[in-house]
């Protein structure tokens, strides 16, 4: 029985990595650009590598590197990156019902490894896993460890490229991340409330892009959630009235 469980865990771990592979491909140029940008912004190679090892938050790392290059005060950098990463609170709340059975020793590493890509593949898996609750951890780990290893390797490549090549950050490779995020969001839009949420968030993000400290992102997320929730309530209420 122990051998069967071990095989099942390993198989589920590999499934998580396999399902994350298309998103990893999109993240490769993003990581390379960060490594190159970080060293050109004034970080040492060790500092840039340490940021990826111990922060592991792509968008926040980009913003931090840019602010460091501008000589911004450390507390302001911390505040800005904190605001950008608040979306992970929403991710965690969404995943909590599926992972609440895990011992506390797993919560810290799972929280650290939570990324947009890992959230996207795991929430789809969890919502339709049909009773695989005992192996949910291993699917998450397969996705998260793959993403983490890829990010470290790409950062290292970017650091080397940034030291030897010129204007790597201006090669336009960051477009791959736009395509990746599109691939993350679109499969999750499976009903009208989700569509309304996506539309409201997208429009708000564009209109509020100029707000300081990336507050436009949190405003877009908040209004999108409110719009999606309101749409779900209205649709549910309408269905009940029709049924009555």
Domain boundaries, the chain: 2-174, 189-239
Tokens representing residue 148 in the block: 């983490």
Of 15 and 81, the one with more pLDDT:
15
pLDDT at 147: 95
pLDDT for the residue numbered 170: 64
Average per-residue pLDDT for the chain: 82
Quote the percentage of the chain above a pLDDT of 70: 86
- pLDDT confidence of 156, banded at 50, 70, 90? very high
Residue with more model confidence, 132 or 192: 192
Separation in Å, CA 111 to CA 50, 57, 85, 139: 18, 11, 12, 15
Question: Residues of the chain with pLDDT > 90: what percent?
Answer: 27
Q: What is the pLDDT of residue 74?
A: 86
pLDDT at 241 over 50: no
Burial degree of 235 (CB within 10 A; 0-12, 13-18, 19+): middle
Coil vs helix vs strand at 95:
helix
- Average pLDDT on 40-55 reads 90
pLDDT of residue 242: 46
Q: Give the CA radius of gyration of the chain.
A: 20
Going by pLDDT thresholds of 50, 70 and 90, the confidence category of residue 213 is low
Say whether pLDDT at 243 is over 60: no
pLDDT at 113: 95
Q: Give the pLDDT score at 240.
A: 47
């Amino acid at each position: 029985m122990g051998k069967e469980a071990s095989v099942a865990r390993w198989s589920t771990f590999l499934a998580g990595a396999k399902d994350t592979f298309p998103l990893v491909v999109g993240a490769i140029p993003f990581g390379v650009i960060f490594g190159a940008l970080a060293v050109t912004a004034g970080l040492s190679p060790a500092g840039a590598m340490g940021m990826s090892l111990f922060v592991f938050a792509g968008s926040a790392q980009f913003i931090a590197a840019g602010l460091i290059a501008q000589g911004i005060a450390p507390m302001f950098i911390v505040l800005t990156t904190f605001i950008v990463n608040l979306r992970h609170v929403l991710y965690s709340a969404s995943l909590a019902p599926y992972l609440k059975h895990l011992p506390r020793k797993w919560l810290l590493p799972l929280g650290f490894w939570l990324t947009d890509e890992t959230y996207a593949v795991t929430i789809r898996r969890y919502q339709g896993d049909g009773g695989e609750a005992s192996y949910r951890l291993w699917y998450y780990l397969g996705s998260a460890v793959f993403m983490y290893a890829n990010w470290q390797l790409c950062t290292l490549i970017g650091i080397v490229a940034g030291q030897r090549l010129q204007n790597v950050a201006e090669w336009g490779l960051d477009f791959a991340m736009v395509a990746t995020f599109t691939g993350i969001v679109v499969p999750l839009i499976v009903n009208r409330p989700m569509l309304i949420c996506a539309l409201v968030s997208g429009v708000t993000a564009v209109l509020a892009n100029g707000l300081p400290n990336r507050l436009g992102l949190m405003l877009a997320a908040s209004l999108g959630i409110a719009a999606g929730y309101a749409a779900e309530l209205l649709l549910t209420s309408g269905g009940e009235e029709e049924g009555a």
